[in-house]
Amino acid sequence: METIQSRIHLFKDMSVMLGRSMRHVSRSIDTIITVTIMPIAMMLLFVYVLGGAIQAGTDNYVDYLLPGILLIAVANSVGYTSFRLFTDVQRGIFERFNSMPVARSAALWGHVLTSLLSNVISLLVIILVALIMGFRPTAGILSWLAVLGILMLFTLALTWIAAIAGLAAKTVDGASVIAYPIHFLPLISSAFVPTASMPSGVRAFAENQPVTPIVEAVRALLFSKPVGSDIWVALAWCIAIMVVAYVFAMIVYKRKA
Amino acid sequence: MQNTIQVIGLKKSYRDLHVLKGVDLEVARGSIFALLGSNGAGKTTVVKILTTLLQQDSGTATVNGFDVVLQPSQVRQSISLTGQFAAVDDILTGRENIVMIARLRHIKHPHQVADDLLRRLGLTAAANRRAATYSGGMRRRLDIAMSLVGESPVIFLDEPTTGLDPEARIEVWNIIKELAASGTTVFLTTQYLEEAEQLANQIAILHEAGLS
């Protein structure tokens, strides 16, 4: 009886925390620009300015580009998750929650769920713009669900990395510095052009980092092509990063908050 | 008469730094207790231990009859903490801040509770403004309002008037006096002897890591 009650409380507490930090997202123009508007602007730039000169093997370049743009949107958001967590630790908000009869993990999970939900909303907006630009996927409902699943796993993996940075940082710059290396990964991958066109050293890096198999798997799913081994490599990367980052984040959280 | 807070032989060190070397204190129900000390004397450490945020190395502490180490969730049911730095959410409005705390305490009619507290602390006119736009005194009042949600029998205020102008300080003093008059036990820390004398029934001075 008591455990059921405390579980209900945990969900209620988490939904309060989620509502709170979703307000942080929706009231920050800066966040919305970086996470949703910037990727859309990049998509417009690449399709309408550079796209004519890029040989990616699709009739409409937006068909090739969209998966990479979606990952860039997620990658852009992680710095903000770190920042929001850092502010909560620094301002004593976590201390206030922890001195209240609130489930300990609710505050942290509130941030993680916010990252998931806000990214799903922003990805939907970006996909809508791509559809207006002539993006015509052939995927059925199951493939779309698989795409959603992979993108959510990718978001979770990056969110837990962001959580480590946000909880462990001593300065606000330290909290958001984690975003920079993550921003680079989509740029040196098959997000914009096929890796076959790259010099061998760059190509080796591009083909063996997590973003390329994720992009390839999403692209194959969207256009009903065989996903091959990419989807398994993509899942392995996402799950491995997520588990390791989660464990470290929990260690830091228990020590800090 | 049973004491609301009972502390015996409390010790806490951070590596080689002995912050608390055996602190004993008793706080009677419904009284205002002031813990006086300079910066770094360990006042916040005592507050953190009593509010279950930190564990002592040795000694025992009970709050509202519950042991802070063995019964932390019962302690948390009994207390409210207003930390050293106003822990308000800047992005939310004053009302949203209070409603959030009321929801986390699973109180019925959170909006009603928020309206009452906003009125009581003179924040009704600013209720729908973001906390980021508040002055130092208003932030502190909002911070205290958030601690009053749920009418906890024991309230901890860690340096509630540090950084406030004289007028805002007197406002906070009046709030604390009203609280104690309504039967709440108040545990506050301060750097100012004058403040302790103004407010408290009982004063303890923390220095050289012990009480005198």
A91 touches chain B (CB under 8 A): yes
- Strand, coil or helix: what is B2? coil
pLDDT tens for each residue of A67-115: 999 999 999 999 999 999 999 998 889 999 999 998 888 999 999 999 9
Which region holds residue A149: left if phi is over 0, alpha if psi is between -120 and 50, else beta? alpha
Measure the N-to-C terminal CA separation of chain A; round to a whole number of Å: 29
Interchain contact, B100 vs A102, CB within 8 Å: no
Q: Is A96 on the interface with B (CB under 8 A)?
A: yes
Q: Is residue B10 part of a domain?
A: no
Chain B hits for A92, CB-CB cut-off 8 Å, are 83-87
What pLDDT, on a 0 to 100 scale, did the predictor assign at position B114? 96
User: Which of A14, A21, A96 should we substitute to test contact with B (largest number of B Cβ atoms within 10 Å)?
Assistant: A96
Has residue B164 been placed in a domain? yes
User: Which residues of chain A does B101 touch, with a Cβ-Cβ cutoff of 8 Å?
Assistant: 100
Going by their DSSP bridges, the two strands B17-28 and B3-14 should be labelled as antiparallel
Number of domains in chain B: 1
Q: Tell me, what's the pLDDT at A51?
A: 86
- Unique residue bearing structure tokens 């206030």: A96
Query: A116 and A152 in contact (C-beta within 8 Å)?
Result: yes
| Chain B residues lying within 8 Å of A101, measured CB to CB | 73, 76-77, 105
| Residue B208, pLDDT score | 65
Nearest chain B residue to A9, by CA: B106
Task: Output the tens digit of pLDDT for each of chain B's 212 residues.
Answer: 478 999 999 999 988 888 898 999 999 999 999 999 888 889 999 999 999 999 999 999 999 999 999 999 999 999 999 988 889 999 999 999 999 999 999 999 999 999 999 999 999 999 999 999 999 899 999 999 999 999 999 999 999 998 888 888 998 999 999 999 999 999 999 999 999 999 999 999 987 655 65
Single-letter amino acid, residue B133: T
CATH number of the domain bearing residue B123: 3.40.50.300
Q: What is the CA radius of gyration of chain A?
A: 19
What residues pair up with B211 in beta bridges, in sequence order? Answer: B206
Distance from CA of B15 to the nearest CA of A (A): 15
pLDDT at A18 over 90: yes
Q: Side chain identity at A207, as an amino acid letter?
A: E
b (16+ CB within 10 A) / e for B55-86: ebeebebbbbebebeebbebbbbbbbbbbbbb
Domain of residue B93, residue span: 31-53+70-200
d(CA B169, CA B121): 13
Question: pLDDT per residue over A204-244, tens digit each?
Answer: 999 999 999 999 999 999 999 988 889 999 999 999 999 99
Q: Does B176 fall in a domain?
A: yes
- Percentage of chain A surpassing pLDDT 90? 75
B63 in a domain, yes or no?
no
- Residue in this structure with the two tokens 């009480």, named with its chain if needed: B211
Question: Between the CA of residue A79 and those of A67, A73, A175, what are the distances in Å?
Answer: 20, 11, 7
**What pLDDT shows up at residue A257?**
58
Whole-model pTM: value is 0.90
The answer to whether residues B148 and B117 touch, using CB atoms and an 8 Å cutoff, is yes
Measured in whole angstroms, the distance separating CA B153 from the mean position of its chain's CA atoms is 12
Q: Which two tokens stand for residue B156?
A: 């901890």
3-state SS class at B32: strand
Mean pLDDT of chain A: 92
Give the nearest partner residue to B87 out of A24, A96, A101, using CB atoms. Answer: A96
Give the residue with greater pLDDT, A21 vs A57: A21
Q: Report the complex ipTM.
A: 0.91
Specify the pLDDT at position A1: 46
Say if B16 falls within a structural domain.
Answer: no
CB A28 within 8 A of CB A70: no
B23 within some domain: no
| A4 touches B at CB < 8 Å | no
